[in-house]
Each structure stands twice: as C-alpha cells, then as structure tokens.
Structure 1
Amino acid sequence: MGTHVIKMPDIGEGIAEVELSQWHVKVGDLVVEDQVLADVMTDKAMVDIPSPVHGKVIALGGQPGEVMAVGSVLISIEVEGAGNLKESAAPVVTKEPVAPTVEAVVESKPVAAAPRPAPAPACQGPMVAREADERPLASPAVRKHALDLGIQLRLVRGTGPAGRVLHEDLDAYLAQGQSNASAPAAAAYAQRNDEEQIQVIGMRRKIAQRMQDATQRAAHFSYVEEIDVTAIEELRAHLNEKHGASRGKLTLLPFLVRALVVALRNFPQMNARYDDEAQVITRLGAVHVGVATQSDVGLMVPVVRHAEARSLWDSAAEISRLANAARNGKASRDELSGSTITLTSLGALGGIVSTPVLNLPEVAIVGVNKIVERPMVVKGQVVIRKMMNLSSSFDHRVVDGMDAALFIQAIRGLLEQPATLFVE
C-alpha cells in the first residue's frame, strides 16, 4: 500500500491562503475518484476539493474554520500500490459564491465538473444510527426547518452529497411518521438543558466580516416613508388578469424596479459607487438593480442589468430567472456582480420598518416592507387603503439627507400615481 498526500491547491488570483470550510469525509472513510473531500473558501468563492484517487482516508490536515496556506497538506489517502509517498495538488471546482455583505454575494462562476458517484447512504431505513454527538451535514436553512418541525437531524437519512440532509429528507422523515411531533404531549413541557455551539465559519463568517466592514466604513443613515399602494396593486391585478396567462404574472418588484429607474433620472447621485480609498464617486448611467434573494447558502444579490431598458414583463422574467439561479447555486459571476443600487424585500415577512445595510461600494439601498390594509383619511373620509413602507439606507458621506428624502418621495409619487411610471 502507498500514501497519496493531497495538498491545498493554488486557486489562482494571487490567493496565498484559504479557509477550510467543511469536511465531507472522516478518517477511515473509503473514497473514490472525484468524490468531494472538503469545501474551502476564498474571498471570491466556495470551492469543492474532489479526490484524484481511490483509497482510504488516513489523516486530515486541518479543522473547519482553520486558515490554511496554499501547498499545505490537506488530506492523506492510503492507496493500492507500492509503499511510496505520492503528492499532488487537489483539483478544484468552484461551487458557490460568497457574500460580500449581509445584502449581497460576491461574484463566482460555477465550473463544470466531472460527474461524481453518489456516496452510499449511512442507513437504508427511515432512521440513521448516528452517534449522539455527531453533527450531520445540513445547511442553516435545513437546520432551522428541522428545529421548527421538532426533528432531530441525527435521526434523518441524508440523500445529498456526502450524506447531506436536504429539505426533501425532512419531508420524507415526516411522511414516515418518525417526527418528534408524535411524542407524548408532556414532552413539549419537559425541561431542556442542551446547548449547541456553532462555529462562525465559511459563508456565515464572510457575511459577518463584510457586514461589519460596511457598517464601519459607510456613514449609514436610514429614511422611512409610508406609501399608498392601492392604485398600483389594482393595476397589477388588472394586468395579471389580462396578460398573466400569456406574459407571466407580475409581482410588485418589477414596478419598484421601474420606479427606481424613473426616479434616478432626477437623482443620479443615488446610482453611484464610492471608492473611499481613492476618494472618487462614480455615477453610472446604466441602472443595474441588485435584488436581494435568500438561499440555503446565505443572502445573494443577483443583478438585473440595464433595468432602464426593460419593460415590466422583461424585468419580471429576469428577476424570476436570477432568483431561481441564485437559490439553486447556479448564478454566474456576472449575474452576481456589478449592481449600482440594491432593492431588498422580505415579502410578506417584511415587517413594518427595517434598516438595510448598504451593499458597498453602492451608496443607496431601498428596503421594501410588507403591504397591510389600514384605515386612512382620504378627502375627509375614512377608507381602507393598502399601505406599505419603504425603509431605505444611504451613505451619508455621499448622499445628503434632503436628497435622500426627495428621492424616496419621488418613488412614492410614482407608485401612488402608477400612470406616471410610463409617461415619457
């Protein structure tokens, strides 16, 4: 038998060290060629490290969260053959983008990889015999979903890569009647003293670092305005009834994108990037709207390019396409970079007021809160209207408070009188 030592590869772009984000194998595991061994993270991308050989894992070179130098030993694999030592740099496969701030994700273009054989599941039954302290692989969203459902992840068989537990696995577990929801009602009132420590590594560490950077560097200030969206919601319902079957359904987002485009004609200072090191503000004619999108790996911001040249349905189709690509981890480098102003919305969960964090180097971000029906006084009469707040943040180093208020008021006027969105 021989030993094949795999070293941390040179991922390029002058990167000298990377963070070991996650192991997909452990000592003693049998691995096959092209099976993913680990995830590592650079400032630009999450990268898969596949195995170049068949063999048995005999040593791991680091722990998740550890920053490792390019060329350091990543993993040692026992292989068949002469008893000599072989070394190689691991091949790399760009996996998914990394978030530059809490509101966005830095560009990363997925690279096609050779098909990998699916690892064998740990158990063929509905339950998995894991140790009590063993932490199964799962995304933060899946962990939260399991917690909400009262499911212990260690009991769920994962069908994803390296046994990763997916949302579908939770559904299958529930369907087989193994949920803790079937436990005696008294268990819901039992005392709990358990604790769980979660390392801040990988995507979450990058989000934390970039959010902290944004709040330390930019002089944030927020402005909240109430908007009557009754008329534009009526227009949206009418357009969907008339054209929805042939052109697709419209959400409120394409109307908001259109309102941004029109308002920016009179407020070009909002459609800008600020290089605080060079002390240069760049105002852009093109309106590239970043649309914040939640995914299992974190908050991404795919970019609707040249929104100024798009119709409502064109914007709607592009927003839908980009959101699906981001959620599926298939958005390219170009699709996740180059925004000039960002639009962030939590939809029905949008709350009353929010304080969005700027997507540096942009100087403005427009936050959309939920729509609620409220009694309002209109021409002396109390009527029910659909109301929504815009909670927006600006970089006070570049944007004056008065200009920010006038900009949001301009958007308000466009949305409350929707015909003005299309009057040239």
Structure 2
Amino acid sequence: MGIYIIRVPDIGEGIAEVEIAAWHVKEGDTVAEDQVIADIMTDKASVEVPCHMHGKVLQLGGKVGDVLAVGAELVRLEVEGEGNLKEGASPLPPVGEGGDGGAAPAGAAKVSAPAASPHPNPPPKGEGAAAPAPSAALGASKKSAAAPARAAAPHATRKEGERPLAAPSVRQRALDMGIELRLVAGSGPAGRILHEDLDAFAARGGAPAPGGSIYVERHGEEDIPVIGLRRKIAQKMQESKRRIPHFSYVEEVDVTELEALRARLNKLHGATRGKLTLLPFLVRAMVVALRDFPQINARFDDDAGVVTRYEAVHLGVATQTDGGLMVPVLRHAEGMDLWACAAGIVRIAEGARTGKAPREELSGSTITLTSLGPLGGVVSTPVINHPEVAIVGVNRIVERPMIREGQVVARQLMNLSSSFDHRVVDGMDAARFIQAVRSLLEAPALLFIE
C-alpha cells in the first residue's frame, strides 16, 4: 500500500490561493477515479476537484472555509502500489498548528468532516430532509455543534439555554406557527429539527400557542461563519468601498412611453421571440449613451495609475443567487438587439444561479447594471464593482401624478440610482451621462436611430 497526495490544482488566471467551499468525502471513505471529492472557490468561480485514482481517504487538508495555497495538500489517500509519497511520511498537522488561523499553505488542518452537500447553499424551504450545508454543519455555534444526536420523542424538551439545531427556514416557520423549537424533537442529523418534525409536533397537539405566543422572550444565538461565496462578496465589497471614492447621482425617468412600447412588442412578438423586460431597453440606452462618455465605460488600475477605456460594452448584470450576489457578464452588449440582449441576460443569470456559468462569464465587465426588480425601492446607493468606475441601479416603477401641459396626469415613473468613481469621473459628466440615458428611455424611438 502507498500514500497518494492530491494537491490544490493550479487553475490558471494568476490564482494563488483557493477556499474550500465543500467536501464530498470524509476520512475513511473509499473513493473512485474521477469522483468529485471537493469544491474549491476562487475569486471568480467554484471549481470541482476530481479524484485521480482509487483509494481510501486518510486525511483532509482543511475544513470548509479554509484558504489553501495552490499546490498545497488537499487530500491524502491510501492506494494500491507505491503512490506518490513514501509510506510513513508525516501526517498533516492537527487543527491550529498550521499558523494564521487555518490559512496555512500545505493544508493546515486535520478534520473529520461530515459528508457535505454537493452545494454549499442551504436547502430551500420544504427540503428539510436534505444534508446540512457546510456552513451549518461546520460553523454552528459551540452549543449547537456540541448538541448530541437524540432519538425523536413527543414534545421532547431541552435544557434551559440549549439551542436546538434547525435551518433558518424551519425557525421562521416555527415562529409563524407559534411553536417553541426547544419543545420539538429533531429527527435530522445531530437532532436537527426538520419541517416534518414541526408537522408531527402540531399533529400531536402541540399546535400554535394561544394569542401572545409571539411575545415570548427568546435567547437563542447562532454563529454563522462567513465563508465561501459570502466571504468573496464581503471581500469584494470591502475592497470597493476602501479603494473607490463613491458618489451617487439619482434621476427620475418617465417610462410611460417605454412601457407602452414594451407591451406592444411583447404582444406582437412575445410568442415567437420571447418576452421583453425593462432591462434590455435600459442596456440599449446605456450602450448608446456610452458612445459619448467613454470615460464611464472603463476600468481603473489604481495600482498602476492607468484608466483603460473600452469600445466594447461588457455589461456586468448583478444577479442574486441562493449563495449571494454574483455579477455575470453579458459580453459585447453593443452588438445585440433587444431580444438577443434579453436572452443573454436570462442565460447568464441562470448560469450564475445554478453554478454553471463558465469562468469567462464571471469576470471582465466594464460597467455594471443592478436591479432589485419590484423590490427596487425609491433610491439606492449601489457599490461599484471594482475596478470599474460606474454602476447603474434601477429602482421600481410606480404610477404617480405629474403635471404635463398644465394637466395632472398619471405617469409611470422610475428612478435611476447610480454611483461613480470620483477619481476618474467628474460629477458633471456623470449627470450628463444619466441625463442622456433618461432622454433615450423617455423617447424610446431614439434607441433605434443611428
């Protein structure tokens, strides 16, 4: 028998370190060639790491959330034959001896990790029987992590102050039902309470407590480690706010005519060419306006002191996923008509949400568009996607009274809330750019005139 080391792969693009996003194996498991053993996350994407050969897992190189250098030891296998490391070589150091809080280079932790869900995101509501996400399995509070597995029992109670294990969706549902979670027996791993346990509890007569139950004092706590995509988002936002002197500009836009045109086009061509949302029109308006404001379709390398302006519009589209905010890129938006743009936005957004977006679609944007749809609020102050110099935010459309030619009329109004890098974009230029976008949206025929 021999020892075979699987190391953190070099995935190119200058990546020097990665974060362990999920484990698909645990110590003692037998693995096969090409079996996925772990998910690692770079600044740009999540990558699956396959096993190189058949063997038995001896040690894992870290726990979920650890940052490892490229080339560091990821998994140690026992294999038939000689392997690639002499038998008897020193094992990985135990947790805490790798230095720098788990970010040591050569796999700084020995972890008996539980088998993780293939996806690092928590299960959606209603899927309470799924395996716990790594953040829940490895990063719950000390009280929760130490809670022993317990057999299901009707109306089981816990000690005062002992926090029951449950997913956020289960906690919210229990709150809505007026059920004290500490009274519910959990049938999941380590006594975790599932949606089925709430149903069983209610069926046994532990129905919502009579009026006033929502005012019961609550003392629970839960520590959620900031790892995986959430850590990358936090680092990106911190870097953007630290390095870029933001200023925001808000302008009201009358989209009544635009909405009429959109409804007309959807009626004529929706069945054959697809439905149009507001976003393709806004993308088109930005593309046309940027021709006169090249300093806004740019990236600023503040280390080198160089601003690069682009003729191509590679539009970042802020997309909410189960794991957090991602910004897939719609490349060459300037070369797309409305329907191609609409289809492109749907495609890249779906790729980001399902984790199937290729790496080239997760970087290289020159300006970003962000929208919260019907939740867009009245005004927002979006954060620039470093190293870009501008981001355009869309707020919700509301029908409000306006005075037009002396008459009070109902119009559909929307605010554009945008932010700019004041080091390279002057306030006057930012205002003129947004005014140009506004003019195009309020007279939509201009979008198609060259």
Alpha-carbon displacement from aligned partner over 1:80-112 (angstroms, at most 9, x marks no partner): 78998399xxxxxxxxxxxxxxxxxxxxxxxxx
Tell me the equivalent position of 2:350. 324
Q: Which residue of 1 aligns with 2:18?
A: 18
Higher RCO (C-alpha 8 Å, min separation 6): 1
Which sections of structure 2, spanning at least 5 residues, go unmatched? 90-117, 119-126, 140-165, 176-180
Give 1:128 shift. 5.5
- 1:323-362 Cα deviation digits (max 9, x unpaired): 2222222222332332221111111111111111111222
Query: Which position in structure 1 is the counterpart of 2:220?
Result: 194
Does the 8 Å contact 1:32/1:54 carry over to 2?
A: yes
CA contact under 8 A between 1:20 and 1:62: conserved in structure 2?
A: yes
C-alpha deviation, 1:47, in angstroms:
2.6
Q: Which residue number corresponds to residue 184 of structure 1? A: 207
Structure 1 223/235 Cα, relative in aligned 2: closer, same or farther at 3 Å? same
CA distance in 2 between counterparts of 1:316 and 1:82 reads 55
Q: How does 1:7-406 map to 2 (within 5 A)?
A: 7-13=6-12, 15-78=15-78, 85=87, 135-136=136-137, 145=169, 147-150=171-174, 178=199, 184-186=207-209, 188-406=214-432
Matches of 2:44 and 2:330, distance apart in 1: 21
The question of whether the paired residues in 1 share the 8 Å contact of 2:3 and 2:82 is answered with no
Kindly name which structure, 1 or 2, has the bigger radius of gyration based on alpha carbons: 2
Q: Deviations over 1:159-181 (max 9, x none)?
A: xxxxxxxxxxx9xx67x984888
Alignment check: 8 A CA contact 2:299 2:308 kept: yes
Give the Cα–Cα distance (whole angstroms) in 2 for the partners of residues 262 and 358 of structure 1: 21
Task: Decide which moves more: 295-304 or 23-32.
Answer: 23-32
Residues 225, 391 of structure 1: 8 Å contact kept: yes
Helix, strand or coil for the counterpart of 1:185? coil
* Separation (CA, whole Å) in 1 of partners of 2:50 and 2:380: 42
Of the structure 1 ranges 52-61 and 234-243, higher mean CA displacement relative to structure 2 is found in 52-61
> For residues 234 and 362 of structure 1, do their structure 2 counterparts lie closer, same or farther at Cα, with a shift above 3 Å needed?
same
Matched residues in 2 for 1:191 and 1:56: separation? 49
Q: Deviations over 1:89-148 (max 9, x none)?
A: xxxxxxxxxxxxxxxxxxxxxxxxxxxxx9xxxxxxx975999x993599xxx9655554
Matches of 1:59 and 1:286 in 2, distance apart?
Answer: 48
1:207 partner SS: helix
Q: 1:36 to 1:405 in 2, by over 3 A?
A: same
- TM-score w.r.t. the length of structure 2 is 0.71
Deviation at 1:388, TM superposition (A): 0.9
Deviates more, 1:75-84 or 1:59-68: 75-84
C-alpha separation in 1, matches of 2:439 and 2:217: 54
135 and 273 in structure 1: CA distance in 2 versus 1, 3 angstrom threshold:
closer
The 1:155–1:343 alpha-carbon spacing in structure 2 relative to 1, beyond 3 Å, is farther
Deviations 1:2-47 (A, max 9, x none): 4644342341536554333333333344544443332223344433
Aligned partners of 1:128 and 1:155 also within 8 Å: no
Gaps of 5+ in 1: 88-117, 119-125, 159-169
Q: 1:234 to 1:269 in 2, by over 3 A?
A: same
Structure 1 distance, partners of 2:366, 2:222, is 40
Q: 1:73 to 1:361 in 2, by over 3 A?
A: closer
The residue matched to 1:195 in structure 2 has which SS? coil
What TM-score, normalized by structure 1, do the two folds share?
Answer: 0.75
Which sits farther off after the overlay, 176-185 or 65-74? Answer: 176-185
SS in 1 for 2:223: coil
Q: Which residue of 2 aligns with 1:90?
A: none
Q: CA deviation at 1:277?
A: 2.2
In the TM superposition, structure 1's runs of 4+ consecutive aligned residues that sit over 6 Å from their partners are 80-84, 154-158, 179-182
Secondary structure (helix, strand or coil) at the match of 1:62 reads coil
Equivalent residue pairs, number: 368
Which amino acid is 1:413 matched to?
S
Identical columns (%): 60
- Specify the SS of the correspondent of 1:270: coil
Q: Distance in 1 between matches of 2:265 and 2:131?
A: 53
Higher mean displacement: 63-72 or 368-377 = 63-72
Corresponding position: 1:408 with 2:410: no
Distance 2:188 2:269 in 1: 44
CA contact (8 A) 1:150 1:179 kept: no
1:234-254 deviations in whole A, cap 9, x for unaligned? Answer: 111111111111111100001
Return the alpha-carbon distance in structure 2 between the equivalents of residues 389 and 78 of structure 1: 61
Query: RMSD value over aligned CA atoms?
Result: 3.7
